[in-house]
Structure 1
Amino acid sequence: MKISARNVFEGTIKEVHRGSTTSHVIVDVKGVTFTSSITNEAVDELGLKAGLKVKTIIKSSDVMVAAD
């Protein structure tokens, strides 16, 4: 698979939390946790579950966090 994103990190799924329509997939990448919100349909199609080796791909124009 070829993609334009350059921020690709290999890791392992720690947990999958299913909601009514969306799942939060928690991935460990060398001790750093990434959380992805994706549809339940995508989780099922990809067969995502704890322990599976995956690649996290970050493609974003903005990542914002603010705190006082």
Structure 2
Amino acid sequence: MSTPIQAVNVRNQFRGKIREIIRGTVVSEIDVETSFGIVTSVITTRSVDELQLKVGSDVVALVKATEVSIATL
């Protein structure tokens, strides 16, 4: 049974499914497929295990950035 998210101070939330998990010894890379594209997160491998994340799991990617840089091409 999953616990619903009650309140989070993050405006950028993207629902999606885990597409790929690249496990590392300390940190792992998680690719989440959303309706807007792929969102990639790097989290501790311990968190991957504690959250029982698996390819195909439904998740919410929460994005909170203090700075976003833009460059011209």
TM-score (structure 2 length as normaliser): 0.83
Tell me, in whole angstroms, the C-alpha distance in 1 between the residues paired with 2:43 and 2:34: 18
Structure 2 unmatched ranges of 5 or more: 1-5
When the two structures are aligned, how many residues end up with a matched partner? Answer: 68
Off by >2 Å, runs of 4+ in structure 1 = 63-68
Larger Rg: 2
- Runs of 5+ in structure 1 lacking a partner? none
| Structure 1 position 56 matched with structure 2 position 64 | no
2:11 alignment partner, one of 6, 13, 18: 6
Q: Helix, strand or coil for the counterpart of 2:8? A: coil
Which residue of the other structure, out of 35, 39, 54, is the alignment partner of 1:34?
39
Question: Which one has the bigger strand percentage?
Answer: 1
Q: TM-score, normalised by structure 1?
A: 0.88
Task: Provide the rounded CA distance (Å) in 2 between the counterparts of 1:20 and 1:67.
Answer: 36
The Cα RMSD (Å) is: 1.7
